[in-house]
Amino acid sequence: MITLWELGGRNGRRYSLFSWRTRMALAHKGLAFESKPVCMSDKAVIAFSGGKTVPIVKDGETVVRDSWKIAEHLEDRYPSAPTLFGGDIGRGVTHAFNVWVDRAAVLPMLAVIVADVHERVEPADEHYFRESMEKILKMTFEEARKGRAEAMSRLTRTLEPMQALLKRQPWIAGAQPAYADYILFSIFQWARVMSPHPVVENPLLEWFERVLDLHGSFARNVPTA
């Protein structure tokens, strides 16, 4: 049995974008797992991992922290299950895409949804979440709310290359979905779970719906905003 430690929000929401990458990777590989929701501010429960972030996976006796390392672990440990990367070159290119999404797209999405996320974190996390996110964004949540339209334009500009790509091929990974799709998907699922405002436009929206349908609608049927 595989155990996944991840952020738990109000009403059973699972809102860590990085853990959505892991969730999708596990579903892609056909692996069952047990979810252990944790509070962002409670570092004691995840101290066993040697770090301060989730997702963390325990697979047998092996503990792996960091969504990218977890994806590599699953690919290496379960080579006969459907591939996440499609070989060594695919692994390298997917890693490049992982770095691009983390460096270019995560903060623009955070700026759009942060105040909505704050309303849906566990009460025990409200203070910690506000303090750490306001520091990262260098603005208050009140300023973030006021600047939402501008943040949305910045996000749309950032994602324009992906809009163009998805006019030409059905999946980020090409002819079939793979881990690269789950990397981009994670930021939209984060918004879907924690914000009532729509953030996805066509053709990204059609692609997003296709990802939600994957693996028996695994990501569709979850608590959302």
Ligand X SMILES: N[C@@H](CCC(=O)N[C@@H](CS)C(=O)NCC(=O)O)C(=O)O
Sheet of 2-7: strand order equals: 33-38, 2-7, 56-59, 62-65
Closer to ligand X by CB, 17 or 166: give it: 17
Residues that bind ligand X (CB under 6 A): 7, 16-18, 40, 52-55, 66-68, 132
Q: Which residues pair with 8 in a beta bridge?
A: 14
Distance of closest approach, residue 175 Cβ to ligand X, in angstroms: 26
Closer to ligand X by CB, 18 or 188: give it: 18
CA distance 127 to 205: 33
Distance of closest approach, residue 52 Cβ to ligand X, in angstroms: 6
Closer to ligand X by CB, 39 or 166: give it: 39
Distance of closest approach, residue 66 Cβ to ligand X, in angstroms: 4
Helix, strand, coil distribution of the chain in percent, nearest 5: 60, 10, 30
Distance of closest approach, residue 222 Cβ to ligand X, in angstroms: 16
Rg, the chain, Cα only: 17
Closer to ligand X by CB, 53 or 224: give it: 53
3-state secondary structure 85-153: CCCHHHHHHHHHHHHHHHHHHHHHHHHHHHHHHHCCECHHHHHHHHHHHHHHHCCCHHHHHHCHHHHHH
Distance of closest approach, residue 65 Cβ to ligand X, in angstroms: 7
Residue 107 neighbours by CB under 8 Å, 6+ apart: 136, 137
Closer to ligand X by CB, 5 or 208: give it: 5
CA distance 76 to 91: 11
Q: Regarding beta strands 62-65 and 33-38, do their DSSP bridges make them parallel or antiparallel, or are they unpaired? A: unpaired
Closer to ligand X by CB, 9 or 166: give it: 9
Distance of closest approach, residue 171 Cβ to ligand X, in angstroms: 21
